[in-house]
Chains A and B, each alone.
Chain A
């Protein structure tokens, strides 16, 4: 039997109603302990109102080698950004 506790990734939603954000990781034997430890480790300064934890081994990530095919295609879609459309100065509220 191993005493090596599995690694968990911790996500915390801060006071301001933003999305949960990855804050770090920790070790715990199960999800319940991970949530409690996350409370003690990552919210000592009143940082959060909600905690998510996920086993690190359950997180699937994009591969760094795929960076070009994944992200470069959006580079030339400049029309998705509001700055693509110059507006006359005298027109307000746009």
Chain B
């Protein structure tokens, strides 16, 4: 549906806008621009949740990935909005208003597809089952995060596990979906997205995204 194309592009634009704000702030430390950080780092230098680099798949896969992330994102941003670092707090506060809408939207789709037809229910459940193993690392603080959490700068992601799971359970209940059993979580061993150990998908995404600036490194666009 065109309506969905338009709505999901709004989510994409919000997230891209937020990414630019974070990159610009991060770049102030060593003088690199947002584009330098986005286009001239290797996959191993990227620190991102494995969940968000998973392929689009069918619409249930896309929605499952989006919802599981949004539900975490909204909690993290709410914490960051009270960060002792005022820049972080300001970016998070702006992003929070956008992400509240994202989670509303993606949770409605989880419910629609989960409680829609037999076919959509099956696909939604399968998508959730397949992505569940990437949800563990969202709630494990990396060694580099801990001092920041203690200093009141970063969000205590481990404390967010309980509220996250409660929200997921209530959405899944309405969607008539089963919350997958916790099994082995990718990255739980300290070798995941937060440490730069990725799935195969990220380097493909980056190869495509970075092709022009890498081919013409001195060009301005």
* Interface set of A (CB-CB < 8 Å, partner B): 5, 26-29, 32-33, 36-37, 40-41, 44
Contact = CB atoms under 8 A, between A and B. Distances in A.
Nearest to A34: B3
B3 A40 contact: yes
B6 A41 contact: yes
B1 A40 contact: no
A70 to B, nearest CB: 35
Contact of A27 (B3, B7, B112): B3
B10 interface: yes
B161 interface: no
B1 A27 contact: yes
Contacts of A44: 6, 10
B108 interface: yes
Interface SS of chain B: helix, strand, loop or mixed? helix
B15 to A, nearest CB: 15
Interface residues of B, number: 9
Nearest to A32: B108
Contacts of A27: 1, 3
A41 B6 CA distance: 6
A53 B151 CA distance: 48
Contacts of A29: 112
B108 A40 contact: no
Interface of B: 1, 3, 6-7, 10, 104-105, 108, 112
B3 A41 contact: yes
A41 B3 CA distance: 7
B210 to A, nearest CB: 29
B3 A28 contact: yes
- Top 9 A-B residue pairs of the complex, sorted by shortest distance between their CB atoms: A40-B7, A37-B3, A40-B10, A40-B6, A41-B6, A26-B3, A27-B3, A41-B3, A37-B7
A22 to B, nearest CB: 18
A32 B112 CA distance: 12
24 contacts: A5-B1, A26-B3, A27-B1, A27-B3, A28-B3, A29-B112, A32-B108, A33-B108, A36-B7, A36-B104, A36-B105, A36-B108, A37-B3, A37-B6, A37-B7, A40-B3, A40-B6, A40-B7, A40-B10, A41-B3, A41-B6, A41-B7, A44-B6, A44-B10
Interface centre among A27, A28, A36 (most CB of B within 10 A): A36
Contacts of B112: 29
Contacts of A32: 108
